[in-house]
């Protein structure tokens, strides 16, 4: 029973890990940008959701109706106003600009929200479903897992079936050919960043319900997201799911003290041995 419990916990944790990484993997795959500010985007999503939920007194899940469009627009503006410009200079300056952005955002949040721990309170915080003797599933974990899975499925259907999604994938495969076929590359990049920000809004909402977070938590979530990207393979959305599960299991097996450490070591090993990831093209 203990083993099954651990596996179930790992899988549930893996769902949210996949969600943390999916925005980053899109930026990697489509825009070819390592977005080091993704962790801060997630925390911004968390704060937006918590503040909004407290202000109107609704369930945090409902706040994504507002936060997702806001973050989408902010992402589009950021990409077309700043990052598209820097990417013309080179990939290394672009990397450093996102690094600068992450530092700025982390400290700006610290100024606005102070260093206090935050957490969204939901009534089903501690509720759990009892499946068998010694086998419980936390309701919150289950909800977060379902939201993560739904987001990732919707995103992959969007990329596969819609015209916009196809043009995004075309840009990802061959930027030059896509632009010759009439795809506006800069606009596509802006939309990709918008989508990445939107997933960060949802991920932030999940983070705010599941864990305590601080303005400085972005770094941790960035590294988790990066691990998902690396293990799953750049730009591969099914890969993020598997990678999330692997990381989730590693974390749960390692326990509170060494879980994060094991996850990081796993990522570095993956980077060294198979940097293209499990599911790369």
Partner 1 sequence: MKDNTTTLHKPVKILDGIVMLIICIVICVALYVLGITKTFSNNTMRYMFKIFLYITMGTMWNLMSGFTGMTSLGQQVFIGIAGYSVAVMTSTYKMSMWMGLLVGAVIGVVFALILSFVLFRMRGMYFAVATWLIAEAVRLWFNSWPFVKQGAGMTVAVKQIPKVRELYIYALTLMIIALIVVYALLRTKTGLGLTAMRDDADASSSVGVNIFKSKLLCYLICSVFIALCGGLFALQKGSVLPSSSFGIDWTVAMVFIVILGGVGTMAGPILGGIIYVILSEFLAHFPGWSNIILGAIAILVIIFLPDGIIGTLQKKLNFEIFSQKRLSAPKKSLKQKADMAA
Q: Could you tell me the CA-to-CA distances from 82 to 11, 111, 154, 190 in Å, in that order?
A: 37, 23, 28, 10
> What number of CA atoms fall less than 13 Å from residue 31's CA on the CB side?
33
Distance, CA of 153 to CA of 147 (rounded, Å):
10
- Cα diameter, the chain: 62
> Looking only at residues 229 through 258 of this chain, which bind partner 1 when binding is defined by CB under 8 A?
230, 257-258
18 contacts 243 by C-beta, under 8 angstroms: yes
Q: What is the DSSP letter of 213?
A: B
Q: How far is the CB of 137 from partner 1 (least distance, A)?
A: 28
Query: Does 212 engage in binding with partner 1 (CB under 8 A)?
Result: no
| Residue 74 or 142 with smaller CB distance to partner 1 | 74
Distance CA 53, CA 41 (A): 18
For 99, the token pair is: 């690094």
Binding mask 66-85 for partner 1 (x = CB under 8 A): ----------------x--x
Q: Is 91 in the site for partner 1 (CB under 8 A)?
A: yes
CB of 158 or CB of 258, closer to partner 1: 258
Which residue, 145 or 213, is less far from partner 1 as judged by CB? 213
Separation of alpha carbons 211 and 64, rounded Å: 18
Tell me how far, at minimum, the Cβ of 64 lies from partner 1, in Å.
Answer: 28
Name the minimum Å distance from CB 106 to partner 1: 7
Residues making contact with partner 1 (CB under 8 A): 34, 36, 82, 85-86, 89, 91-93, 95-97, 99-101, 103-104, 106-108, 110-111, 219-220, 223, 226-227, 230, 257-258, 260-261, 264-265, 267-269, 271-272, 275
């Amino acid at each position: 029973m203990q083993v099954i419990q651990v596996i179930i916990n790992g899988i549930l944790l893996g769902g949210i890990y996949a969600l943390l990484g999916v925005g980053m993997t899109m930026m990697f795959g489509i825009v070819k940008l390592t977005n080091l500010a993704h962790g801060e985007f997630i925390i911004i999503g968390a704060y937006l959701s918590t503040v909004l939920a407290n202000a109107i007194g609704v369930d945090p899940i409902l706040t994504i109706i507002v936060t997702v469009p806001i973050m989408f627009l902010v992402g589009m503006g950021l990409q077309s106003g700043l990052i598209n410009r820097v990417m013309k200079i080179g990939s290394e300056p672009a990397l450093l600009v996102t690094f600068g952005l992450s530092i700025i955002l982390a400290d700006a949040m610290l100024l606005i929200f102070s260093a206090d721990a935050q957490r969204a309170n939901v009534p089903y915080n501690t509720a759990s479903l009892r499946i068998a003797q010694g086998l419980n599933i936390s309701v919150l974990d289950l909800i977060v897992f379902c939201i993560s899975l739904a987001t990732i499925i919707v995103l992959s259907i969007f990329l596969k079936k819609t015209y916009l999604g196809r043009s995004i994938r075309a840009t990802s495969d061959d930027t030059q050919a896509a632009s010759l076929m009439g795809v506006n590359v800069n606009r596509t990049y802006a939309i990709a960043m918008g989508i990445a920000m939107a997933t960060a809004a949802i991920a932030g909402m999940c983070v705010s319900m599941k864990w305590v977070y601080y303005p400085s938590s972005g770094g941790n979530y960035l590294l988790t997201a990066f691990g998902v990207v690396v293990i799953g393979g750049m730009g591969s959305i099914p890969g993020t799911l598997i990678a999330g599960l692997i990381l989730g299991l590693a974390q749960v097996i390692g326990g509170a003290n060494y879980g994060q450490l094991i996850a990081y070591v796993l990522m570095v090993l993956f980077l060294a041995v198979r940097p293209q990831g499990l599911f790369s093209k």
